[in-house]
Amino acid sequence: MAKHKILIIGGGTAGITVAAQLKRKDKKLDIAIIEPSDKHYYQPAWTLVGAGTFDYQKTIRKEADYIPKGVEWIKDKATNILPEKNTVTTEKSGDVEYEYLIVAPGLVMAPELLPGLPEAMEKGVVCSNYTDPEHTWKKMQEFKGGNMVFTQPTTPIKCGGAPQKIMYLAEHYLRKHGLRDKSNVIFATPGTVIFGTKEFARTLNKIIAERDIIFKPYYAPVRIDADAKKIYFKYTHNIEGGCVVEENNPINESLVSETEIEMPFDFLHLAPPQAAPKFIQDSQVSIQEGANKGWVDVDEHSLQHKRFANIFALGDVAALPTAKTGAAVRKQAPVLVENLLEMMKNHKIGLASYEGYSSCPLVTGYGKMVLAEFKYGNERDSDPFLSKFVDTTKEQWSMWILKKYGLPFMYWNLMLRGKA
């Protein structure tokens, strides 16, 4: 049986960043990464791909180019974690034993959790930057007017702001191409507000009002009829007499029952439901019951597993009350590395603490962006240095340049090399 001092499941943003930082701290560390994919994707740029302003091929690089030197690459799928045996099972490579395990396989798309969505995606009726941003751009160019609907599921999703970023870009596209007066732009969300952090919500609410975007909170998508081009929502707000939909409303939505709404669409973009990989859900490392069932059970500050002291997790798969973004990983990785190295050296957890930092570069149009940074409790957590020069709560051209050029450069050349 193969055995490694440190075993990492996942060669995405989280796994590679942690491996690179560990190797920079100690080149002699015995580390292996289990990752089946030949390709590494820079997914934050997919919003821009979906709006026709970034080349999809430039978001893809060879995984082999980013496995840190001296780290063994087990090119395979993990199939189970057996924490009591300190073992990970794989599809083809047998069992792999570890002294310390870092769980970072990310999450998976689960369109089957929304009835009608797999069929709608197969027929090309709906689009999603999460799965095929080039198709989003194609559908945007084909759109000639009507209901342009953007929505997201009730499950956790990676980058919670992404469903509205493409909406702002699409609305700007309609204005640039003389289609805005023929179109209704609708953002329907199970959430109660446009954004959880009030300083950024103020700006976004102003944008929505100024651009005549129809905001529909408490709208949880429940099914899609691809042939009829209709999406159905459950209205989740408890009001007396059920939900209220006005007759002869401009978007032609109608009540199907007291709490269900039918909405026709001519263009539909959504974030598919998302979940932890099945082998994680089925493993003892996941939370077994409750709201976070299926996600890895870690301490929200130390990133150490709550029940298995030699296991850590970060990134999208970790049950942390913050947004699942690459920016979150950038702050989680050094905390995990410091705490793990202290554990290896002195058999006790280190003092490094992750405070929930995440950020959402909210593209609000071509050439405009709001950089929303926050931490646990939806409290604003903007970079003090950056805030001296730029009000990140307002739309900025400089932030657009950061999104389109600065962040990709930092990702490929600094973050994945363990330098940022």
CA distance 375 to 196: 11
Q: pLDDT for 378-393, tens place per residue?
A: 999 987 777 777 888 9
Judgement on whether residues 81 and 155 belong to the same structural domain of the protein = no
Judgement on whether residues 257 and 137 belong to the same structural domain of the protein = yes
Candidates 276, 282, 275; CA nearest to 83 is: 282
Point out which residues pair with 268 in neighbouring strands.
Answer: 149
90's enclosing H/E stretch is strand 87-90
Answer yes or no: is 149 within a domain.
Answer: yes
Judgement on whether residues 139 and 256 belong to the same structural domain of the protein = yes
Q: pLDDT for 367-377, tens place per residue?
A: 999 999 999 99
Does pLDDT of 251 surpass 90?
yes
Answer yes or no: is 64 within a domain.
Answer: yes
Active site residues: 159, 360
Q: Could you give phi then psi for residue 253, rounded to 5 degrees?
A: -80, 155
Judgement on whether residues 116 and 47 belong to the same structural domain of the protein = no
Answer yes or no: is 389 within a domain.
Answer: no
Q: pLDDT for 148-179, tens place per residue?
A: 999 999 999 999 999 999 999 999 999 999 99
- Residues 275-286, mean pLDDT to the nearest whole number: 98
Neighbour count for residue 88 (Cβ, 10 Å): 29
Of the residues 357, 381, 412, which one is the last residue of a structural domain? 357
Q: What is the pLDDT of residue 233?
A: 97
Mean pLDDT (the chain, rounded): 96
Find the CATH number of the domain harbouring 342.
3.50.50.60
The domain tally of the chain equals: 2
At 125, list the tokens: 């009726």
Lowest mean pLDDT of 235-239, 293-297, 337-341, name the range: 235-239
CA distance 363 to 196: 16
CA distance 20 to 126: 38
Answer yes or no: is 385 within a domain.
Answer: no
C-beta separation of 229 from 213 below 8 A: no
Answer yes or no: is 291 within a domain.
Answer: yes
Judgement on whether residues 102 and 115 belong to the same structural domain of the protein = no
Radius of gyration of the chain (CA): 22
- Residues 297-301, mean pLDDT to the nearest whole number: 98
Candidates 232, 240, 198; CA nearest to 216 is: 232
pLDDT band at 239 (very low <50, low <70, confident <90, very high): confident
Cα dist from 140 to 169, 187, 368, whole Å: 10, 16, 19
CA distance 182 to 145: 5
Q: pLDDT for 305-344, tens place per residue?
A: 999 999 999 999 999 999 999 999 999 999 999 999 999 9
Lowest mean pLDDT of 125-129, 240-244, 261-265, 303-307, name the range: 240-244
Judgement on whether residues 102 and 65 belong to the same structural domain of the protein = yes
pLDDT band at 238 (very low <50, low <70, confident <90, very high): confident
Lowest mean pLDDT of 159-163, 229-233, 299-303, name the range: 159-163
CA distance 331 to 156: 20
Judgement on whether residues 256 and 123 belong to the same structural domain of the protein = yes
Judgement on whether residues 118 and 103 belong to the same structural domain of the protein = no
Q: pLDDT for 191-229, tens place per residue?
A: 999 999 999 999 999 999 999 999 999 999 999 999 999
C-beta separation of 35 from 104 below 8 A: no
Judgement on whether residues 12 and 117 belong to the same structural domain of the protein = no
Distant-in-sequence, close-in-space partners of 109: CB < 8 Å, separation ≥ 6 = 130, 131, 272, 273, 274
CA distance 251 to 149: 10
What does the DSSP assignment read for 271-294? PPPEE--HHHHTSTTB--SSTTTT
**pTM for this structure?**
0.95
Candidates 347, 373, 304; CA nearest to 314 is: 304
Lowest mean pLDDT of 62-66, 98-102, 243-247, 304-308, name the range: 243-247
Of the residues 269, 286, 312, which one is the last residue of a structural domain? 269
Please state, for a pLDDT cut of 70, what percent of the chain lies above it. 100
Of the residues 235, 269, 303, which one is the last residue of a structural domain? 269
Judgement on whether residues 123 and 234 belong to the same structural domain of the protein = yes
Answer yes or no: is 381 within a domain.
Answer: no
Instruction: For CA atoms 372, 415, 276, 84, give the dihedral sign.
Output: negative
Residue type for position 101: L
Please state, for a pLDDT cut of 90, what percent of the chain lies above it. 93
Answer yes or no: is 235 within a domain.
Answer: yes
- Angle CA(172)–CA(233)–CA(222) in degrees, nearest 5? 110
Q: What is the pLDDT of residue 388?
A: 75
pLDDT band at 241 (very low <50, low <70, confident <90, very high): low
Give me the domain span that covers residue 307.
Answer: 2-107+276-357
Answer yes or no: is 397 within a domain.
Answer: no
Judgement on whether residues 47 and 196 belong to the same structural domain of the protein = no
